Structure formats: C-alpha cells, structure tokens
Amino acid sequence: MTSHYIDIHLRPDPDFPAGQLMGALFSKLHRRLVELDMSTVGVSFPAHRIKPRDIGDHLRLHGSPTDLATLMASSWLGGMREHADIRELMPAPEQASHRTVSRRQFKTNAERLRRRRMRRHDESAQTALERIPDHIEQRVSLPFVQVRSSSTGQRFSLFVEHGTEQPQPTCGSFNSYGLSRTTTVPWF
C-alpha cells in the first residue's frame, strides 16, 4: 500500500543540469531496489512537464512507512545527498487522486533496429531495410531520465508516462524502477 511518501528535491547545481542529476539519483534508486528485491516502492515525478519535455527536479517515493524506512536506511543516496533536499516521511493526503507512473518504450531509431535485426536474424542490410522501413520511427514527447541498467550496464533513455488521474487507488507491485502500468500512486 502506497500510503506514505518521501519527497526528494534536487538542489540547483552550476556544474550539472537537473536532468543529469535526476539520472544519477534514479539510477542509484534502481540499483538499490534491485539489491533489496523491493517491489513495494513506487515513484512519481511531480514536477514533470510535457511541453517543454522535462522530467523535473522532484522525485517522490511512495510506499508503506516500513518499506520507505527500509529503503532510506540502506544509504542508497550516497554522494547524491549533497545534491538533494530529502524531506521526512509523510502520509499521503487522503483526498489525493491516484495515477499510474509507467515506462513507455518507443521505436525511435530505425537504423539501430535494423542493425539489431541483422545480428539476431543473420539478415542482409537490404532485407533488414525492407522489414524495418524509416517510417516506423516514432517522435516522443514524454519526459525521460537517462539511466544505467543494473542487469546489462547499458545507458538508455527511460521514458516516463504519468497516467490519467483516478479517484480510487489500484494496488499491486512495482518494477525495479518503481514503475507500473497498473498499480497507482497518490497524486498531489
């Protein structure tokens, strides 16, 4: 149950843009959620914007008081503490609406998809071009955070979609990024 929350606000830094700091913060959170095998903590980005596309400088952690205390006791923030203002554990407002916060994946680079197909299916460049035409590329307007996968070590853009607001919560679990297509978090 995501009855409580902890807000983490990034402090302005002249050397690092907020997006880069959010990527570092979010990557640290992801690694710790994996290490703890924790699927009971969700996230939201209250300061995100679609136009201009920006994930914002505010990360909100959602969960039970016990789960959030366990996470915060694990010292996952490390060197990010000097870049962040960490607020105390608070109960979510009872009148808050709810929404999902999920990852969206897009086909944004046809050439990369062709190279991958050629490797996986032992196809020629011409065959891959026929199967993956340029027009499949999608333009993305969602905010994103640059993260490093704990399983592959690869850096990638994780696009984040905040679903429509709902009056009632939907319970369930979150993935290792604190995201879910079905489980909601309080939105306020």
Cα Rg of the chain, angstroms: 18
Task: Return the amino acid letter for 179.
Answer: L
Active site residue 30: yes
Task: Give dist(CA 149, CA 130) in Å, integer.
Answer: 31
Task: Give dist(CA 166, CA 35) in Å, integer.
Answer: 32
Task: Give dist(CA 3, CA 139) in Å, integer.
Answer: 36
Query: Cβ contacts of residue 93 below 8 Å, gap of 6+?
Result: 186, 188
Query: Of 4, 30, 62, 83, which one is the catalytic site residue?
Result: 30
Contact assessment for residue 9 and residue 47, using Cβ atoms and an 8 Å cutoff: no
Residue 160: phi and psi, rounded to 5, are -115, 130
Q: Which residues are catalytic?
A: 30
